[in-house]
Amino acid sequence: MVRPYLFIGLFVATNCTLALLYPFSWTRFLIFVALYGLGTGIMLYLLFNPTNDWLVTNRSHVESATEVALTFDDGPDPVDTPRLLDLLRQKGIKATFFVVGRRADEHPEIVRRAWEEGHLIANHTWSHQPLFCFLPPWRLRQEIERGTESIRRACGRRPRYFRSPVGLRHPFLRPYLEQAGLTFVSWRLRSRDTHIRNAQRLAERIVNNAHGGDIILLHDHRPDGARAMLEALPGVIDKLRARGFEFVLAGSRGEAECEQR
């Protein structure tokens, strides 16, 4: 519980360097730029880097070098998630869905279907706040708890895994996740399917950059639709299978990790 306060201390100290600007001199200005840049750089690294686990213990890969895990964020989507589930069923693949609680409340039948078809359902907060790392502590706790409750209502089990919006950390995330019984999961391969709208380019990026053990970040809900991802995925699955990879969940569905309703 020391690290949240060390992080806040770093934030305060970085901003205190503004005092160096008065009285102004070029030497003091250059010292300010160096210190402010250093402090800001360290904070951004701790908040944004998907594999860093200083602020919160972080699962960014699966154990075996012959396995990869597909993870889908931001759903359920009433159109694209059922299409994705059809595709995964055709290919005989299980994946991990990080669902947004308020969307799970709107489409609980899709979340339930995904769970019943053997996929793993995980908490992606209740409302997917883009400035997650700046939430006041009471909102952070609320986002986590409401996300968990939405999943419990939809599929009858509390989730055991959590991913924040854009994988952002928060100084108080570790203690809140521990209280909620959640493990933070990030990724090692970001597909960039939120930016790449060409299916062939998207498929090439994933296939060319995939390594054994990767947790792969994809999205089954996009404001403009997940068409490129859905078009790219069959070829990606076939090519990664041809390289000897098996597809696994990013965590366990085991009874020991899920609490019955």
Q: Tell me if residue 219 is catalytic.
A: yes
The single residue among 67, 74, 214, 220 that binds Zn ion, judged by CB under 5 A, is: 74
Residue closer to Zn ion by CB (options 20, 122) is 122
The catalytic residue among 61, 73, 80, 170 is 73
Contact region for Zn ion (CB under 5 A) — 73-81, 89-97, 129-137, 231-239? 73-81
- What pairs with residue 218 in β-bridges? 72
Q: Tell me if residue 53 is catalytic.
A: no
The catalytic residue among 193, 219, 220, 221 is 219
**d(C-alpha 157, C-alpha 152), whole Å:** 5
Residue of closest CB approach to Zn ion: 73
Q: Maximum Cα–Cα distance for the chain, whole Å?
A: 69
Number of residues that bind Zn ion (CB under 5 A): 3
Q: Which residues contact 44 (CB under 8 A, 6 or more apart)?
A: none
**d(C-alpha 99, C-alpha 101), whole Å:** 6
Closest CB 81 distance from Zn ion, rounded Å: 14
**d(C-alpha 134, C-alpha 199), whole Å:** 34
The single residue among 73, 77, 143, 220 that binds Zn ion, judged by CB under 5 A, is: 73
Residue closer to Zn ion by CB (options 67, 143) is 143
Q: Are 253 and 221 in contact (CB under 8 A)?
A: no
Residue closer to Zn ion by CB (options 91, 139) is 139
> Between the CA of residue 244 and those of 62, 68, 93, 94, 214, what are the distances in Å?
15, 10, 14, 16, 14
- For position 220 contacting Zn ion by CB under 5 A, the verdict is no
- 146-185: contacts with Zn ion (CB under 5 A): 165
Residue closer to Zn ion by CB (options 14, 58) is 58
User: And the tokens for 32?
Assistant: 């300010």
Q: Which residues contact 57 (CB under 8 A, 6 or more apart)?
A: 174, 183, 184
Closest CB 98 distance from Zn ion, rounded Å: 7
| Phi, psi (rounded to 5 degrees) for 185 | -120, 125
Closest CB 140 distance from Zn ion, rounded Å: 16
Q: What are the residues binding Zn ion (CB under 5 A)? A: 73-74, 165
Residues noted as catalytic: 73, 219
